[in-house]
């Protein structure tokens, strides 16, 4: 199925007109308005010009690349220790000297990139579609639907447009204006409406995730609470409240979190608990606590 069909009966090649108008920009004219009454400077204006439909596949590919970029960045900075991780090897790895906040900072930066990327995608979509009538494309579509405004009036993804071109003949150059049927805009309209509201949901999710991790990683009280909860679940003798006072227990947890695990250590333990389960995460924290507690007793 050809992307355009031309309502034209002229002596020159129809295929030439179709190919030319597909490769060049067109402009939207309301059905009740006469094209011949429009001056040349009133035709290809930002409000009328349609220049996006040829580039939709490339634009969608660019958006996919933007969404993939933060993931590649995170993978390039993160260290992979293998799929089969046992407790004593993990304890050994965590005992090595490392930056206390590098991994956490990279992870938070990646979350910020996801949030910035969604905002950038919404802006790029508005710019790409040339939605000068409304500040945000999706909200404008909802408003038009509520008010019963069709594409013939709004100009959003019009099914027909006008194309101006010239044909060089022997004696002179003839100018023509033809009406083109943009069949592809039927699909483009649905694609971009779905994408816009999907990006809106992604923005809410990315904003919530970034704010959550911002507080979790930057405020030490959340790290202490996380470790205390897992140690209490284990019913560990060395963490028994009856054998130690509350102040002594709190001091040991502070020292365990701040001096032994550091920010990155707690972050890794959070990731292990989230992906491997609470039981495995608790066992790992208990092994680390026993190692730390044994060092402190000596």
Model pLDDT for residues 176-185, shown as the tens digit of each residue: 777 777 788 8
Q: What is residue 58's three-state secondary structure?
A: helix
Average pLDDT for 62-68: 90
Domain ranges of the chain: 219-298
Model pLDDT for residues 99-114, shown as the tens digit of each residue: 577 888 889 999 999 9
Kind and range of the H or E run holding 170: none
* pLDDT band, residue 175 (cuts 50/70/90): confident
Cα–Cα distance between 227 and 289 in angstroms, integer?
10
Cα distances from 130 to residues 47, 105, 156, 158, 256, in angstroms, run 8, 37, 9, 13, 56
Model pLDDT for residues 20-33, shown as the tens digit of each residue: 777 777 777 776 76
Model pLDDT for residues 125-173, shown as the tens digit of each residue: 888 877 655 567 777 777 776 776 665 556 677 777 888 777 777 777 7
How many other C-beta atoms are found inside a 10 Å radius of the C-beta of residue 113? 19
Most confident of 43-52, 198-207, 278-287: 198-207
Q: What is the pLDDT, as a whole number, of residue 215? A: 93
Q: Where do we find the tokens 């909200």?
A: 139
| Residue 78 reports pLDDT greater than 50 | yes
């Amino acid at each position: 199925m050809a992307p355009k069909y031309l309502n034209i009966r002229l002596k020159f090649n129809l295929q030439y007109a179709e190919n030319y108008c597909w490769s060049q920009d067109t402009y939207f004219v309301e059905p009740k308005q006469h094209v011949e009454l429009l001056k040349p400077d009133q035709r290809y204006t930002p409000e009328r010009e349609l220049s996006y439909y040829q580039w939709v596949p490339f634009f969608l590919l660019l958006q996919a690349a933007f969404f993939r970029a933060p993931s590649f960045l995170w993978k390039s900075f993160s260290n992979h220790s293998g799929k089969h991780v046992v407790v004593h090897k993990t304890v050994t790895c965590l005992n090595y000297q490392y930056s206390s906040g590098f991994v956490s900072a990279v992870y938070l930066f990646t979350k910020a990139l996801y949030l910035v990327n969604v905002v950038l995608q919404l802006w790029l979509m508005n710019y790409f579609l040339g939605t000068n009538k409304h500040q945000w494309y999706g909200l404008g579509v909802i408003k038009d639907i509520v008010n019963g405004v069709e594409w013939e009036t709004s100009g959003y993804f019009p099914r027909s447009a006008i194309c101006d071109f010239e044909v060089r003949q022997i004696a002179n150059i003839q100018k023509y204006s033809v009406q083109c049927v943009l069949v592809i805009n039927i699909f483009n309209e649905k694609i971009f409406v779905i994408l816009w509201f999907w990006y809106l949901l992604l923005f809410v999710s990315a904003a919530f995730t970034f704010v959550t991790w911002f507080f979790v990683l930057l405020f030490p009280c959340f790290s202490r609470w996380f470790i205390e909860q897992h140690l209490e679940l284990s019913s560990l003798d060395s963490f028994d409240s009856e054998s130690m006072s509350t102040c002594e227990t709190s001091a040991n947890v502070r020292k365990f979190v701040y001096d032994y695990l550091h920010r990155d250590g707690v972050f890794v333990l959070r990731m292990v608990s989230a992906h491997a389960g609470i039981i495995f995460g608790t066992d790992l924290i208990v092994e680390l606590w026993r190692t730390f507690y044994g060092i402190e007793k000596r």
